[in-house]
Amino acid sequence: MTKGKATVVTIMATGGIGVLSVVSAGCGLFGSGPAAQRRATAVKKPGAHRPPGGGKRVTIDWAASPITQTGTRRTMIRAFEASHPNLRVKLITMSTNTDTTRTTLSTEIEGGSATPDVYMGDVIWPAQFAHSGLAVNLSKYLPHGFWSRFAPGLVTGASYRGRVYAAPFFMDAGFLYYRKDLLKKAGLPVPRTWQQLASDAKTLQAKHLVRYGYVWEGAAYEGLTCDLMEFLADSGAKVLNSAGTKVVLNSPRAISAVTFMRSLITRGISPAAVSTYQEPDAMNTFDAGDAAFMRNWDYAWSNSQTPGTKVVGKVGVEPMPAFASAKQPGYSCIGGWDLYVNPHTRHLQQALTFIRWMTSAPAQRILAKKYSEVPTNYAVQKESSVRKKNPVLRIVARVRLVSRPSSTPLYPQLSQALYQNVNAALTGQIAPTTAITRASREISADLAGRGL
């Protein structure tokens, strides 16, 4: 290795898996005027990003909020540096609040800062950041074959108008948690359809084996949008067309999906309070032994096995159910975190090297085997040594993924229209038909108002 003056490059990353990717997933807009257009075209001059010659060591700064397990980021950095002796990574810790991190990133990048070079951001950011010129079009620099390493559905969620603006780093998804002991007592199999889950829940309740059948996230917030997307996908409904420019939500299938969600409450399968539930509320109810089934993210497994809960050793995990007429398993909404590149970076090639390694099999094995994070690398998901780590990793390769309708930069407004109206239907304030009609009208007005 040739010695030389060190050059500093900043790579920023944000947030952790699970709660951050769901609870704090609201996103803002950063403009689309001439300044944004200049930022968007800045990366079209690769010469400005050429690494220094002469074998100089380059230090890249990666700003990241803590990932669930302590030490995850440092371990990944050490492994990267060991395989790239001419590169060093300086870690910059970001806020654990996703909205705060998004604001910080947008302010710095919009102001022309060359740092961060790479940042870790929410899976629902690609359209917003791409539209505002805050992220590099990675599909311009990474070959087509690179994207085949990711689990099906992840690259679509990282794209905007046919271009990929983020590399999936580690993921989350909705899972069905169930009480193995209760099903065994009642002689019931694990439900594969929503209709079967509802029927089994009523059976368990009738036998006085459990208070509630099914708990999930029904409050008026981002988590409800995630749950809704699973029901919509299972019913064959969509929110936007493939281009993300037209609302196609108002359909009998969408109304049927929301009607079923409401029926879970009216039939007593889910408590009326589920319309106020976020992830921790569902986990607390399930871990207290008061529910037979629960929809939640990957971290709910370790939470349920914490000493002191009433369900230790009694919990099973499976992919989400589907409606009886649909393909099984059902769809699971994508959560998690991606890696983005700052358009102003002076070290594009080093940033791309970092992304390639962090999504490679060796790096993804560290995330999965050492820290139990869900890898985005599909081959790693299917490795036997990874699948043995815990029940979530055992089944994740079988999960069918659906992304939120974040292919529009107006996603925050879109999501709000969905969760506010659907929540009103869950509480009985309006009918499911009205909820879908109103949400469709509000989203259409937002898109038309911004010329999208």
Domain boundaries of the chain, sorted by first residue: 7-171+336-397, 173-333+409-449
Identify the residue whose tokens are 């529910």: 291
Helices (H) and strands (E) in the chain, counts: 20, 14
Are 109 and 31 a contacting pair, CB within 8 Å? no
Q: Among 9, 21, 12, 7, which residue's Cα sits nearest to residue 108? A: 12
pLDDT tens, per residue, the chain with 452 residues:
333 333 334 444 433 333 333 333 333 323 333 333 333 333 334 333 444 445 689 998 887 888 877 799 999 999 999 999 999 998 888 898 888 999 999 999 999 999 999 999 999 999 999 999 999 999 999 999 999 999 999 999 999 999 999 999 999 999 999 999 999 999 999 999 999 999 999 999 999 999 999 999 999 999 999 999 999 999 999 999 988 899 999 999 999 999 999 999 999 999 999 999 999 999 999 999 999 999 999 999 999 999 999 999 999 999 999 999 899 999 999 999 999 999 999 999 999 999 999 999 999 999 999 999 999 999 999 999 999 999 999 999 999 999 999 999 999 999 999 999 999 999 999 999 999 999 999 999 999 987 66
- How far apart CA 61 and CA 67 sit, in angstroms, is 16
CATH code of the domain occupying 173-333+409-449: 3.40.190.10
Q: Do 7-171+336-397 and 173-333+409-449 agree at the fold level? A: yes
What is the reported pTM? 0.86
Which class is 7-171+336-397 in CATH? alpha beta
Helix or strand run (H / E) with residue 282:
helix 279-287
- Give me the residues paired with residue 334 across strands: 173
Handedness of CA 402, 405, 411, 415 (dihedral sign): negative
